[in-house]
Chains A and B, each alone.
Chain A
Amino acid sequence: MSGGWLRDTAVAMVVLALFLAFELAGFRSSSLLDFAIRFATFGLLALSLNLLIGTTGLVSFGHAAYFGMGAYSFGLLMQTGAWSIPAAILAALACTALLALVVGALCVRLSEIYFAFLTLAFQMLLHSVISSWISLTGGDQGLMGGIPKPAFLGIDLAQPSHLAGFGVFCLLLSTVALRQVVRSPFGAALRMIRDNPDRAAFVGLSVFRYRLAAFVIAGTFAGLGGVLMSLYVSGAFPSFAFWTTSGEAIFMIMLGGVSVFLGPLVGTAIFLLLNDWITALTEHHGLFMGTILLILVLGLRKGLLDFIMEHWRARKGARS
């Protein structure tokens, strides 16, 4: 294992310790905990999507399918009453990975625009299955009756403070894992394929296999986001797998930046803060969100972290 991996783990542990200390010290206003859980949930969605968009060069419009799949499979397993939370999480991730494998195998051979549309189509297919299979999913009403949350290892996810800590833990773990994926020889292969699939094939890469692997990994981490979401709302709704959820994830990435690893997380924070702030001010919140996003995207022409990093590099270059 490389040194970078160890350093990331150390940083993640410090962040987690700080967050838990913060909680224990009594700063557990419900809005902070609420934000932490939503940040972990959508951060996972955006960060995993950027493995496809930023690292592999595959613009998927259907990433929320895996978010929804994670939420529903976890929720349904827990409602049987026979599963512990960790086991149900692993099983839900396996289900999500399987879905991503099947959909990915059909999509990743296609070129850009067809890939985008086919991922969108599969997402809408899943959405309509969820909406219409009422006996299983509750249809538009969502999974009814709540999700039982038996305590495990002294962690009681029915308490918001535990759930927030658990969410932050999952996010940090995934961030370290995804960072290692990007930095590994495997990640280098993904970036080669993003830069130049033709030459990548010429030096010996199977473009199909690497794209598919990236698709499955990204889908699985989005599934973990879905699991957190279903824990947060104690249920699951068809909107989790609706195209607007995919669109929000793309917006978050655009806000934060595609070329810097943590860009999507910065974008998630900006998106959630803007959303909360504007929703409190006006009921026309879609109009205001749209305007702000347009100004940011058209004004900076790149994500915030992309913009900052570019300036920083340019200044460093000018000095040396």
Chain B
Amino acid sequence: MSGGRLQLQNLRKSFGGVVATDDVSLTFEPGTLSAIIGPNGAGKTTLFHLITGKLPVSSGRVLLDDAEITGLDRRDIVRRGIGRAFQVANLFPSFTVAHSLAAGLMAHEGRTASLFRGFPPKDIAARAEEVMELCGLTHLAATESRHLSHGDQKLLDIALALALSPKVLLLDEPTAGMGPDERWRMIERVHKLWEARGLTLVFIEHDMDIVFRIAQSVRVLRYGAVLAQGTPEEMRRNPAVIEAYLGAEHAL
């Protein structure tokens, strides 16, 4: 897939007197895998809200492949190619896995206005199957989302974002609330998806072992501002990062 450069320029967001995002400028190059870390309340999720248009920015710009997307409707932003999975799986509880993906695909392509066809049409069902295979959800195709395990719900949430063929995929704590084994399975899956689709992947993560294992670059946020950025190695040596967040155990 071509493209997928995400640039944030001097992004600011304040809620009344509280500055949640403070002059953030970051660039995510096409096809890279980056992690965003930072203590609770550092403004990581807010940053995702600003990029995806869930919250309006106070000032600054968001660019996708040099085209400005700041202030667009969030549906337009999804159409331009920014996908997002949520911290708490955000699903359609009564839909089966296969139907969730089919419905997502049809909605994305503006094909849900049809009253006379069946649901899902064959071409869509086939594409939903592809996504299920990629995400390892095929065996759960006929299971209703509400009956999935926590981990599979998170996976379906990612699959739903992935079905819309994004250039940039934002994952908000893909391993939140999972046990250690489940975490590693999930992160291997995410890594595989990233390789298979060649997309720009940005994930928020609290588990430093995971971050340092798979991320190509790390951005550290604190109090809404960028504290440091660089390779995982560099971050582990950075005194400011160690002091602010990592603690001694992850330092080199």
Residues of A within 8 A of B (CB): 1-5, 180-181, 183-189, 191-192, 194-196, 198-206, 210
Contacts and interface: CB of A to CB of B under 8 A. Distances in A.
15 contacts: A183-B118, A184-B114, A185-B117, A185-B121, A188-B102, A188-B120, A189-B107, A192-B92, A192-B103, A196-B90, A199-B160, A200-B92, A202-B78, A203-B107, A203-B108
Nearest to A210: B112
Contact of A186 (B91, B93, B102, B115): B115
A271 to B, nearest CB: 26
Given A184-B116, A195-B91, 14 more contacts: A2-B116, A2-B117, A184-B114, A184-B118, A188-B106, A189-B103, A189-B106, A189-B107, A192-B95, A192-B107, A202-B84, A203-B78, A203-B107, A206-B75
A40 to B, nearest CB: 23
A181 B107 contact: no
A199 B90 contact: yes
Contacts of A199: 90-92, 160
Interface residues of B, number: 34
Contacts of B111: 185
Interface string B24-68: 000000000000000000000000000010000000000000000
A126 to B, nearest CB: 28
A180 B116 CA distance: 7
B112 A4 contact: no
Contacts of A191: 92, 94-95, 103
A201 B77 CA distance: 11
- Of B79, B84, B115, most buried by chain A (CB within 10 Å of CB) is B115
Interface string B110-145: 111111111111000000000000000000000000
B236 interface: no
B117 A1 contact: yes
Contacts of B106: 185, 188-189
Interface string B73-112: 0110011000010000011111100010011101111111
A188 B94 contact: no
Contact of A196 (B92, B116, B117, B118): B92
A196 B95 CA distance: 11
Contact of A204 (B84, B92, B110, B117): B110
